Structure 1
Amino acid sequence: MRTQLYVVAAVASTHALRAPQARRRTALRAATLPLEDPNGIADARYRKGVKQVSTLGPASATRDMIEKLFVAGTDVFRLNLSHGAADKLEAARHIREVEAKFGHPVGILADLQGPKHRVGMFSDELPKVFLEKGQSYRFDLEDAPGTQSRVQLPHPEVLAALKKGDAILLDDGKLRVEVTSTGNGFVDTVVTNDAALSSRKGFNLPDTVVPTSAMTPKDIEDLEFLMEGFEGVTVDWIALSFVQRPEDMLELKKRINGRSSAKVLAKLEKPQAVEPEMLRAITDVCDGIMVARGDLGVEMPPEDVPIVQKEIIEECRRQGKPVIVATQMLESMIDSPAPTRAECSDVATAIFDGCDAIMLSGESAAGKYPEESVRMQQRLVRRVEASTRHQELVRMGNIGGYEPPHGETDTDAVVEAAANLARSLDAKCLLVFTRTGSSARRLARLKPGLPILAVTPSVDVARSLALSAYVYPAVLDPAAVDAERANLFFKMLEAGLDVARRKHLVRDPTDRIVCTAGLPFNVEGCANAIRVVEAAGLDCWGGQCIWEG
């Protein structure tokens, strides 16, 4: 009932805002629709809902390849800071050059490495040991080459946190040991499967919460480089790896301390982080989530990962936070020009689950076919979203088997009314005016099945919205519109319609657009107006337009 009341009140209020002016002569003319797309990307780019994140690396960090990946469908570029931040500066500059060329906001996600734990070194004489099931093996702090019976584990905080019965998974889970006893500066374990172990192999702790900061000294150094402005190139998202608790994200926010408008994103890779209460608390304090299935799949049974993926996506939709599904989505395309059928099904499942974005890692960073991988990803997104099954779920508001709560806030009530109105009128686009991006993100969580053109005065907000499903941002400041206050809303509508036409979000003069805004403009959290317009203009309806003579 509340939503219905908002429809009536909002539509009525917009009609009352503009009393028709007296005209000396009026006439009807046939509506026409000028279409512009100077760069030739609109038809492909704006016909998808789920967004694409591409990791840059040796195979893709050039100016030419970054442009190719953008044209192929990339909405957000990921910079992996595992090997430092400074060497990513040139790639970041190239991204902004591509953004300027195409006049379309592009997101940059900087990914901090986090506390990646590794064992110590073995000697040149014994570079690798072969461990057998049932064998005892010790991990200690001794700075000496590993042997057949022990190796250094140079992390005292980890040794202190381990307890009897805890599992340690080494080399991406290829070797598993279980703690049998603990002591001062060591743990003894029993090997549970036959496997080899060599220098600097990583390890995971599925049963153990290590009470230390999620940010290493390297992460802090990289963050400071980002905060210094990346030498004039700002990033839009900062991701923190191996998040275990909400306090980890709060520490990241504290270190940023208002020096950047970048949003913070939690990478969920630990079983402890995806327990229902912990998941809810972590999602609450961050701006977005990444389902990092690589380490998550090592630390928990692989059969649990698809279920956890759905639970994380559902929680993000409940809170209106964008969520990325990542890792091994098209991994075979690192070496092959075509994906496996199972990989195609994996991408489709993420889309049906209701994610906001899907990510490529090695496929675009180091593979032989980065452009083909991005293009294949786009083809999969468009095919799934065009399917009868997906469109029916959109119509029922039941993507992922989850329906967000109705009208939790005033903004939710208005954007839900707009989405329902758009479906009823077979509108081609939703146009939302937003200062902080909140209205657009609340609308995106509904998965409306049609493009959301988000007009914002802030380029930072526009770039961050590039990660949200269905949202295509454009920058337009009401202060730059030459109009008296009484006519500002209608001037902004006209400007928004022009953007929708240029992006080919509408094609026919009679295509309808449902618009939402908060009046007065630039009041945070204000969403109180809805208007339905046709693509030809504010003075047009049913293919006919009024003109003054």
Structure 2
Amino acid sequence: MKRNRKVKILATLGPASSEESMIEKLHQAGADVFRINMSHASHDMMRMLIQRIRSVEARSGRPIGILADLQGPKLRVGKFVDGKVDLRPGQTFTLDNNEALGDQSRVYLPHPEILESVQPGHRLLIDDGKLALRAEKCDGKSIVTTVISGTRISDRKGVSLPDTLLGVGALTDKDRADLDAVLATDDVDWVALSFVQRPDDLAEVRKIARGRVGLMSKIEKPQALERIEEIIELSDALMVARGDLGVEMPLESVPGIQKQLIRACRRSGKPVVVATQMLESMISAPVPTRAEVSDVATAVFEGADAVMLSAESASGDYPVEAVTTMASIATAIEREPHYPGIIYAQRAQPEATGADAISLAARQIAETLKLSAIVCYTSSGTTGLRASRERPQVPILALSPIIKTARRLAVVWGLHCVVTHDATDLDDMVNRACRIVADEGFGKPGDRIIISAGVPLGTPGATNMIRIAYIGSDGQSGV
């Protein structure tokens, strides 16, 4: 299955897309990676979805990535006597550790970490920012606030804290149980960590996972932006989670933050996913709005590795149409005359390593000689990531003997992943590359390709060789 685009598509599975037949339709429509939202999926449901995805993968012959998205800390107020109360701007309202039902003047806040961390002047946003409070007095047991805007608060509404650094990690007890269940399957490629605030939040997941899954940090807290370079360094990938980020930051700042994060990840060679409300209207309509098309296009023009569908594919009325539309937009943008220039202008300088120099040279040679494809042999995935970091105009085929590596690379820009045995010698390496390029539809007899690999063959992280080869009439090297 050959994709005619470089940006990848993540599709969230849910009630509208949990059947194996629907998963197959979504994959055929363009989904490269499937997201399982652990906020809603039980462990049994997760295992069932994994089994169905792998069945689709076996029939398609293409590696499919699976992302398990951990819920993270859900901060909510308690309940009220009448289910809700009406407030007015300027009035005093208290959040405290008293478990009694709330009223016009106060409500229970079952999160001691918030009571202990909020300082006077900090904002508390309730129900996705519909109610804004400002802390006036804090004693560790209660927070006396002034209502800034909004007129209502009701049972169990969420609390966002844009000014407060909480003294707890990003993993909850539920997340730990979910992570253990995910790792026990040995069949998930990525884990997304919600509400990352600081680099230390990644340490516990790293310790538990021990490299068995890639770690994707979701950026949805202002505090994360203050130490973003450190967070990127400790992450395997980033997700720009614009929903919660747009609650805790001014809405008008989110597009600029998105560009900042995409460019930072491109510099570091880490995959970056743009998520939330990309085709929101397609939850209930068969076509998107013009603004949504422009939103997807912006992420593609910036060189994001992947764009994600949430409720559109999980619970919407048109999941297949949403994936098809996303793929069509991406394909059209990548064919725009201005696209190569924009991508080139944002290209990062290579790091001072032999592998990065080889990847740069392979891209320059491929574009100068108008070769049909770049082929990189990669065991750990590092060579594939470096080839993608260059954002070449020609296709990249990442050949790996390890199915887990190919699945993990399914989220990476421009990589067409193929699982194949390690080459036995240089002739086998060249012949195998030529044959696969021809078989996968990226070249024909007479075309030239460029191959990057490491010598000795099969040595992870030792990319040190490039080779130009002709595809012969038999599909093998014509050199």
TM-score by length of 1: 0.85
Q: Does 1:499 align with 2:436?
A: yes
Give, in angstroms, the shift of residue 87 of structure 1.
1.9
Q: Given that residues 130 and 194 in structure 1 are in contact (C-alpha distance below 8 angstroms), is that contact kept between their aligned partners in structure 2?
A: no
Give, in angstroms, the shift of residue 184 of structure 1.
4.0
In the alignment, what sits opposite 1:120?
78
In the alignment, what sits opposite 1:25?
none
Q: How does 1:112-191 map to 2 (within 5 A)?
A: 112-123=70-81, 126-191=82-147
AA aligned to 2:198 is: R
Once residues 468 and 151 of structure 2 are traced to their aligned partners in structure 1, the CA distance between those partners, rounded to angstroms, is 65
Change (3 A) 1:268 1:72: same
Q: Which of 180, 197, 200 is the matching residue for 2:156?
A: 200
In the alignment, what sits opposite 1:15?
none
Whose RCO is larger (CA < 8 A, sep 6+)?
1
Give, in angstroms, the shift of residue 406 of structure 1.
3.0
In the alignment, what sits opposite 1:528?
464
Give, in angstroms, the shift of residue 449 of structure 1.
2.3
AA aligned to 2:279 is: L
Matched position secondary structure for 2:143: strand
For residues 234-265 of structure 1, the C-alpha deviation after alignment (integer angstroms, 9 at most, x for no partner) is 1000111000111111111112235xx21111
Once residues 368 and 165 of structure 1 are traced to their aligned partners in structure 2, the CA distance between those partners, rounded to angstroms, is 43
In the alignment, what sits opposite 1:69?
26
Once residues 427 and 75 of structure 1 are traced to their aligned partners in structure 2, the CA distance between those partners, rounded to angstroms, is 25
Q: Given that residues 407 and 416 in structure 1 are in contact (C-alpha distance below 8 angstroms), is that contact kept between their aligned partners in structure 2?
A: no
Once residues 215 and 210 of structure 2 are traced to their aligned partners in structure 1, the CA distance between those partners, rounded to angstroms, is 12
Q: Given that residues 49 and 450 in structure 1 are in contact (C-alpha distance below 8 angstroms), is that contact kept between their aligned partners in structure 2?
A: no
AA aligned to 2:264 is: E
Matched position secondary structure for 2:325: helix
Matched position secondary structure for 2:291: helix
Give, in angstroms, the shift of residue 334 of structure 1.
0.2
Give, in angstroms, the shift of residue 475 of structure 1.
1.2
In the alignment, what sits opposite 1:81?
38
Once residues 66 and 197 of structure 1 are traced to their aligned partners in structure 2, the CA distance between those partners, rounded to angstroms, is 39
Once residues 184 and 425 of structure 1 are traced to their aligned partners in structure 2, the CA distance between those partners, rounded to angstroms, is 67
For residues 404-432 of structure 1, the C-alpha deviation after alignment (integer angstroms, 9 at most, x for no partner) is 11342111000000000010011221100
In the alignment, what sits opposite 2:415?
471
Q: Provide structure 2 residue ranges, at least 5 long, that are not aligned to the other structure.
A: none
Q: Does 1:97 align with 2:33?
A: no
Q: Given that residues 177 and 189 in structure 1 are in contact (C-alpha distance below 8 angstroms), is that contact kept between their aligned partners in structure 2?
A: yes
Matched position secondary structure for 1:192: strand
AA aligned to 1:314 is: R
In the alignment, what sits opposite 2:202?
249
Q: Given that residues 49 and 449 in structure 1 are in contact (C-alpha distance below 8 angstroms), is that contact kept between their aligned partners in structure 2?
A: no
Once residues 366 and 98 of structure 2 are traced to their aligned partners in structure 1, the CA distance between those partners, rounded to angstroms, is 66
Q: Does 1:109 align with 2:67?
A: yes
Change (3 A) 1:145 1:433: same
Q: How does 1:7-406 map to 2 (within 5 A)?
A: 41-42=1-2, 45=3, 47-83=4-40, 84-123=42-81, 126-229=82-185, 234-258=187-211, 261-275=212-226, 278-394=227-343, 397-398=344-345, 402-406=346-350
> Quick check: 491-500 or 220-229, which moved more?
491-500
Give, in angstroms, the shift of residue 527 of structure 1.
1.3
Give, in angstroms, the shift of residue 498 of structure 1.
2.2
Aligned length: 476
Once residues 247 and 448 of structure 2 are traced to their aligned partners in structure 1, the CA distance between those partners, rounded to angstroms, is 48
AA aligned to 1:540 is: G
For residues 500-537 of structure 1, the C-alpha deviation after alignment (integer angstroms, 9 at most, x for no partner) is 2222112x423221111111112222112111223335
Once residues 421 and 85 of structure 1 are traced to their aligned partners in structure 2, the CA distance between those partners, rounded to angstroms, is 48
Q: Given that residues 449 and 470 in structure 1 are in contact (C-alpha distance below 8 angstroms), is that contact kept between their aligned partners in structure 2?
A: no
Once residues 341 and 148 of structure 2 are traced to their aligned partners in structure 1, the CA distance between those partners, rounded to angstroms, is 48
Identity %: 43
Q: Which of 341, 358, 382 is the matching residue for 1:414?
A: 358
Q: Given that residues 331 and 363 in structure 1 are in contact (C-alpha distance below 8 angstroms), is that contact kept between their aligned partners in structure 2?
A: yes
For residues 327-361 of structure 1, the C-alpha deviation after alignment (integer angstroms, 9 at most, x for no partner) is 00000000000000000000010111121000000
Larger Rg: 1
In the alignment, what sits opposite 1:451?
395
AA aligned to 1:269 is: E
Once residues 423 and 130 of structure 1 are traced to their aligned partners in structure 2, the CA distance between those partners, rounded to angstroms, is 64
Q: Provide structure 1 residue ranges, at least 5 long, that are not aligned to the other structure.
A: 1-40, 542-549
Once residues 326 and 426 of structure 2 are traced to their aligned partners in structure 1, the CA distance between those partners, rounded to angstroms, is 38
Change (3 A) 1:539 1:119: closer
Moved over 6 A (4+): none
Matched position secondary structure for 2:217: strand
CA RMSD of aligned residues (A): 1.3
Once residues 282 and 52 of structure 2 are traced to their aligned partners in structure 1, the CA distance between those partners, rounded to angstroms, is 24
AA aligned to 1:501 is: A
